[in-house]
Amino acid sequence: MLVILQRKSPVLGSIVLCIALVPEEDEELLRKKGVKDSKQIEQNKLHRLAKELKQKYAYKVIKIKPYIISQAENLNLLEAKYIIKLIKWSNKYAPKYIYLDSLTANIQTCYNYFYTLNFKQSNFKIIPKADEKIISVQVASIIAKYHSDKEIEYLKRKYPDMGSGEPYDKQTIAFLKKHLHNPPKDCIRTSWITFRRLLENDKGN
């Protein structure tokens, strides 16, 4: 069984996409190891799990850099393009199913992004909240979150005042305000609503 899941921080850093091959018969073992929705796992435990899972299963990670995200007219369509690249990489393993945590609230809308890109594959299944339901998706989620955390750690060393990257973080907001007119391409997504609102408010003053 093969799965995909995308992870992202709201304002800073790359979108991280992960695809991982997980046999269905491993489900019970993975449950015992504590595999579940990555949002429910404490960071230190998640990183330990991720390292173990990366050694055990074939996987591939793609990062969509902030400057590429900032240029996109449609973020969901951009993600779909990169997801297709991962699926094509995975086809050499002839997976029984490929599960995707839906990019949109409406499943058909999500499928339509792939149809727009002339992509159809019978074993490709889009499932809402798949990261809460399917353990193989949770494996991909954990690996993706690990790589996302590592990138944020790198960015924090480079930009010590950037904060958590969350829009509710006062330090992150102060960092964005500081770089409204010179946003670093490797860090800030200028197309993100939080950044655009701050920029609009600055122009109005």
86 within 8 A of 4, measured Cβ to Cβ = yes
43 shares a domain with 23:
yes
53 shares a domain with 86:
yes
168 shares a domain with 121:
no
Q: What does the pLDDT average to over 78-106? A: 93
| Residue 179 pLDDT exceeds 80 | yes
**Which residue range is the domain that position 52 belongs to?**
2-157
Q: What does the pLDDT average to over 9-28? A: 86
170 shares a domain with 120:
no
169 shares a domain with 82:
no
Label residue 4 by pLDDT band (50, 70, 90): low
What per-residue confidence (pLDDT) applies to 176? 94
Label residue 171 by pLDDT band (50, 70, 90): very high
69 shares a domain with 22:
yes
Label residue 187 by pLDDT band (50, 70, 90): very high
197 shares a domain with 153:
no
Domain of 96: which CATH number? 3.30.420.10
Label residue 203 by pLDDT band (50, 70, 90): confident
pLDDT digits (tens, 9 = 90+) for 129-168: 888 888 888 999 999 999 988 998 999 999 999 988 888 8
Closest CA relative to residue 143, chosen from 158, 160, 131: 131
| Residue 8 pLDDT exceeds 80 | no
pLDDT digits (tens, 9 = 90+) for 100-139: 999 999 999 999 999 999 999 999 999 988 888 888 889 9
Domain of 193: which CATH number? 1.10.10
Domain count across the chain:
2
Label residue 3 by pLDDT band (50, 70, 90): low
132 shares a domain with 73:
yes
What SS3 class is residue 2? Answer: strand
| Residue 184 pLDDT exceeds 90 | yes
Those residues whose C-beta lies under 8 Å from the C-beta of residue 55, and which sit 6 or more positions away, are none
Across the chain, what does the average pLDDT equal?
A: 90
88 shares a domain with 47:
yes
Q: Which of 120, 138, 157 is the last residue of a domain?
A: 157
39 shares a domain with 66:
yes
What per-residue confidence (pLDDT) applies to 135? 86
Among 9-18, 22-31, 44-53, 59-68, the least confident range: 9-18
Label residue 13 by pLDDT band (50, 70, 90): confident
pLDDT-above-70 percentage for the chain: 94
37 within 8 A of 130, measured Cβ to Cβ = no
116 shares a domain with 77:
yes
151 shares a domain with 178:
no
